[in-house]
Amino acid sequence: MATFWIEERVAVALQALSEAPSYREGVAEVERRLGPRATPAAMERAFKRQGLSTPGSYVGTTANQDVQAPTIEQLARWMQAAAEQLDVEPRRLSRKEVCDNTPAQPAHFSAYGGFPKVRRDLFGDDDGSRADPAQKRAIDARRRYVAKLERQVGDVEFFGREVRKGLVEAFDREPVLRASAAPRPRKPEAGERALVAVVSDTHFGHDVDAREVPGNAVDWTVLSRRFAAYCEEVAGWKLRYRDETRLQVVLAGDIVAGRIHVDDSGIRQIVDQVHGASSILISGLDYLAEHFGAVDVFCVPGNHGRLTKERAFSQRWNNYSSLVFDAIGAAFRREGRVSIEAPLSGDGTFSLPGGELAYVAHGDVEPLIPNPGSSVDVKKLETAFTRLMISEEFPQTPRVWIAGHHHRPFFCDFGPAALVVNGCLNGADGFARNGAGFRRSTSRQVLFEAVEGHPLGDSRIIRLDEADGDEDLDKIVPPPALEIGRLP
């Protein structure tokens, strides 16, 4: 077959194909001129050996006088000539421009991988560089990324334009009407209000050395100032409603440090703990009574200060914190400004506006509260509160559940009831989360308002560690003097 496809017979085949209107008719004409051995497969192999393109590329074209396909150098000369004639750079030519102005045909470029490849190999990319394979891949990747960005920008601009157009049309059809009536004066809200100040996890009597816990230095002065700052926030709550607001202070456990971590550093003697805690709380309650006229205090113990070691559920009142509660009651026994309630059960309820109840327990024993510092399982919260609802222990279902213990302030409204978990006053110490990222003070206490129909209304989380260096707060809560024989 190789001897059959000599150059002149290839030229005959080219001539026959160029004059044929279709490939089938062209092959038939080649067979007529050269014989039945000129099959399409034989023609394909012969054209390839001669450096020509697929035979079908020459159908209906003028046969090249030269049997050989043009070399890459010839294509370069043709492309350069077309560029000079059109006054453009060769790397910006199109295949049509080259074929319209030179003898080049599309099939000539196909033989070398296509026109874009020939142009890139001969004249480089748009930036004029001749890229190696790695550079070509990088350029292709960049082009694809740019194309993607262009599509995204186009989509954003298109949809933004359509949205703006739609809004303009909508406001043209239905213009916004300005209010013509004069503003009405705001009516004062009628009815009783209760401001609930939750105080827990103060851990009075536990000093924290900043060398051990960087970021949190705690002593009696610091604790006094933090509590004074909290009292100042409480006293400044919604002064315009002060006449109809009663203050409910909830001491929700862990008032003293106790002796549960005897190997922990900075734990003061129990006498110091009880005296210092009583002194700070009495001063703060006296300050609040001046602003509200009267203060109701509801007290429950916690796990710190517990004297009963065998069973946490039994005799929860047997707690060093109970001594503090008794001291507060004794301090105000001749006045009607501060009332104290401390149930022996270690938990209980107090009334809210609208006849609702709030339930208080420290959170260390049943009903247990999942630690919001690690995870929040609302389903478990609902289950625990459901037990309270079906217990029939209380005259009606409490609407707010108040607790402490976990040192992480948290609010959760789960339908018919809400949960309030208080923070702590002393912040990170040598026992609780003393690790990198947890050694900041994080001293927080919560405060919320209750009105009829909203047992958990407006609420705040008060940050208190910023009060550590404020000496003016010593006027509200003087730091206690704790040396025996020098009591104030």
pLDDT in tens, 321-363: 888 888 888 888 888 889 999 888 888 899 999 889 999 988 8
Same domain for 256 and 140? Answer: no
pLDDT tens digits along 8-65: 677 778 878 777 777 778 888 888 888 877 778 888 777 777 767 777 777 776 544 4
Residues 251 and 389 in one domain: yes
> Could you tell me the pLDDT band of residue 264, with boundaries at 50, 70 and 90?
low
pLDDT at 395: 80
For CA atoms 298, 303, 307, 312, the dihedral sign is: positive
**pLDDT over 70 percentage in the chain:** 80
Quote the domain boundaries for residue 161: 131-171
Residue 442 has pLDDT above 50, yes or no: yes
How many domains does one find in the chain?
Answer: 3
Q: What is the pLDDT of residue 67?
A: 41
Picking from 86, 107, 123, the residue at the C-terminal end of a domain is: 123
Assess whether 117 and 34 both reside in one domain: yes
> Which tokens is 99 given?
């074929």
Residue 2 within any structural domain of the chain: no
**Which of 63-67, 274-278, 301-305 tops mean pLDDT?**
274-278
Tell whether 76 and 165 lie within a shared domain.
Answer: no
Asked if residue 139 and residue 68 are part of one domain, the reply reads: no
Say yes or no: 302 and 441 in one domain: yes
Question: Is 119 in the same domain as 151?
Answer: no
The helix (run of H) or strand (run of E) holding residue 451 is strand 444-451
Residue 181 in domain: no
- The answer to the question of residue 457 being in a domain is yes
Q: Classify residue 488: in a domain, yes or no.
A: no
Q: Does a structural domain hold residue 139?
A: yes
pTM over 0.85? The answer is: no
Separation of alpha carbons 270 and 34, rounded Å: 120
In 189-294 the beta strands, taken as DSSP E runs, fall at 193-199, 245-252
Section 139-155 average pLDDT: 77
Which segment of 52-56, 104-108, 118-122, 371-375 scores lowest on mean pLDDT?
371-375
pLDDT band of 91, cuts 50, 70, 90: confident
Q: What is the pLDDT of residue 267?
A: 79
User: Quick check: is 14 in a domain?
Assistant: yes
- The answer on 263 and 355 residing in a single domain is yes
Same domain, 84 and 151: no
In the prediction, which pLDDT does 63 show?
Answer: 47
**Of the given ranges (55-64, 267-276, 399-408, 446-455), which has the lowest mean pLDDT?**
55-64
Task: Indicate the pLDDT class of residue 296, thresholds 50, 70 and 90.
Answer: very high
Asked if residue 484 belongs to a domain, the reply is no
Whether 430 and 353 map to the same domain: the answer is yes
438 or 150: which leads in pLDDT: 150
- In this prediction, residue 65 carries a pLDDT of 41
* Domain match, 118 and 136 both: no
Q: What is the DSSP string of 319-379?
A: BHHHHHHHHHHHHTTT-SSEEEE--TTS-EEEEEGGGEEEEE--SSSSSP---TTT---HH
- Claim to verify: residue 139 and residue 222 sit in the same structural domain: no
